[in-house]
Amino acid sequence: MRCLTLLALLVTIFVVSPKHVDLPKPFADDCILNDGKNVYDPSRQFDIPWFDVNLDAAPKDRWTHIAAVYKDDINDLIQSLINFVTPIFPGALEFVDHTFGDMGSKLPMPYRDEIQGISDATGIPLGRIVVYNIFYEIFTVCTSIVAQDPQGHLVHARNLDFGLFLGWDMNSHEWTVSEKLRKMIINVNWIKNGKLLFKSNEFAGYIGIYNGMKPNAFSLTCDDRFQKAGGYYGIIKWLLGLEPESRWMSWLSRETLENCNSYAEAKEHLMNTPMLSPVYFILGGINPKEGAIIARSLNSTALLTEMGVNSANDWYVLETNYDQDTEPLYLDDRDTPGNNCMHKLTKDGVSFQGIFNVLSSRTNLNKLTTYTVLMSTYDSRFETILQSCPGECWPW
């Protein structure tokens, strides 16, 4: 019965649409490059704060300094989700506190203690912090690009779009959760043995990784892969104890950045580790042509697309949320404008500025977009820039 209730809650949160949204027609191609514009301003990266997470510290202590700063924002976000769900699911708050609180004790280490430490530091009940740390597994629409410049150096970038169907603000014409998440974006230096191990960006209070870079080794982003056996399915199986060895997607990303030391090692680990939700891992390396899209199902790799091997282009790979051999849904076609903009950019234009302008073009930039991250393993550059899409924009 509890599992059926959990499924009902998840469907309520992630499938119920807002009451009314005025939808403009999908943009076929709106490249900033068409007008010769440049919207990349590197100084904007300094709007996003940096924090250290010390992996040598006890897990319960690793995130407390961040949690203390953002406790009100974390609580506000979680409360908004509960307020959104409660009219449809009146027992949502009690259910989250009880059921997901129990789930917290089943989480593997060190994640169990890290989440407990965040709960202790914020005063937010454990179950709510658990929900906060797994709901990104369900539905994230994004665009990721790995591109190679004429010198063979790689730029890896992505837009993270999140908040679809999670409340529409009729005054600001924004997704409610997307608005709140923009206030919680941080960059993290992960420290081990007193040295920098890798870099990532996060939403404060979240311990998994959607984007990360190991200097002089590899870079990694994750895009959701829409499958019937998706994140809902994985959560239910995990709750029933049927997948004790499978990994949450964002924890597998983190594990890869912690333990793998090369593009080849990371690719092998990401392709073959059992998972709880399907995903696209977009992987970049340090050497020319080291760019791949790994389309994962729960227990295997469904499709591997590699730059210069079986990709449509020999100088970049681009992934939204559809398999490379599948046509995107017409109402969610970010592939066509993204690829059109890349072709206008050309290989000669590959740089942080060039790729940022591609990702700032509609519909890859939309009402769900919270930030753009730009990474270069060659010179260890890592920039996160706050994003939004004012005016007439496609909602996703």
pLDDT, tens only, 364-392? 998 889 999 999 999 999 999 999 887 77
* 142 part of the active site: yes
Domain membership flag for residue 238: no
CATH number at residue 197: 3.60.60.10
Omega cis (within 30) before 363? yes
Single residue among 86, 102, 135 that ends a domain in this structure: 135
66 and 88, same domain (yes or no): yes
Range of 119's domain?
2-18+59-135
pLDDT grade, residue 104 (50/70/90)? confident
Would 175 be classed as within a structural domain?
Answer: yes
Q: Which of 102, 135, 168 is the last residue of a domain?
A: 135
CA distance 295 to 317: 13
Task: Fill in the DSSP letter of residue 309.
Answer: T
- The model's confidence at residue 277, banded by pLDDT at 50, 70 and 90, is confident
Catalytic residue among 142, 260, 389, 393: 142
* Listed residues 86, 111, 135: the one ending a domain: 135
pLDDT for 224 = 87
Going by C-beta distance under 8 Å and a sequence separation of 6 or more, which residues neighbour residue 59? 109, 110, 111, 112, 113, 114, 117
Residue 261, pLDDT score: 97
Mean pLDDT of 140-151: 91
- The confidence score (pLDDT) of residue 17 equals 40
Residue 268 lies in a domain: yes
Whether residues 86 and 121 fall in one domain: yes
Residue 122 lies in a domain: yes
Which one has a higher pLDDT value, 227 or 289? 289
In degrees and rounded to multiples of 5, residue 326 shows phi and psi of -125, 140
Write down the pLDDT at residue 138. 60
Q: DSSP code of 281?
A: E
Are 217 and 277 part of one and the same domain? yes
346 and 282 share a domain?
Answer: yes
Determine which of 19-28, 110-119, 291-300, 339-348 has the lowest per-residue pLDDT on average: 19-28
Which amino acid makes up residue 193?
N
Same domain, 279 and 372: yes
Q: What is the pLDDT of residue 13?
A: 43
In a domain, 239, yes or no: no
* Cα–Cα dist 49/51, whole Å: 7
Same domain, 265 and 375: yes
Are 83 and 119 members of one domain? Answer: yes
- Provide the 3-class DSSP secondary structure of residue 171: coil
Domain contains 273: yes
Kindly state the tokens that stand for 11: 């469907």
- Identify whether residues 368 and 220 lie together within a single domain: yes
pLDDT of residue 316: 98
Same domain (yes/no): 265, 289: yes
**Residues 114, 193 share a domain:** no
* Residue range 254-263: mean pLDDT, rounded: 98
- Least confident piece of the model among 137-151, 228-242, 279-293: 228-242
Mean pLDDT: which of 79-88, 221-230, 296-305, 384-393 is highest? 296-305
Residue 395 lies in a domain: no
Q: Count how many domains the chain has.
A: 2
Q: Respond yes or no on whether the N-terminal peptide bond of residue 90 is cis (omega within 30° of 0).
A: no
SS3 assignment, position 103: helix
Q: What is the pLDDT of residues 187-244, one digit of tens each?
A: 999 999 999 999 999 999 999 999 999 999 999 999 988 766 655 666 666 666 665 5
Percent of the chain exceeding pLDDT 90 equals 58
182 contacts 371 by C-beta, under 8 angstroms: yes
Average pLDDT over residues 303-317: 95
Query: The pTM is what?
Result: 0.89
Is residue 199 within 8 A of residue 205, CB to CB? The reply is no
E strands, the chain, in order: 50-54, 141-148, 154-161, 168-169, 174-175, 185-192, 195-203, 211-214, 218-224, 279-284, 291-296, 301-306, 316-319, 369-376, 381-386
| Average pLDDT, integer, range 120-142 | 84
Same domain, 75 and 100: yes
- Cα–Cα distance, 146 to 315 (Å, whole number): 8
Q: Are residues 76 and 129 in the same domain?
A: yes
Q: Does 331 map to a domain? A: yes
- 336-to-63, 90, 164, 266, 331 alpha-carbon distances in Å: 40, 42, 21, 29, 12
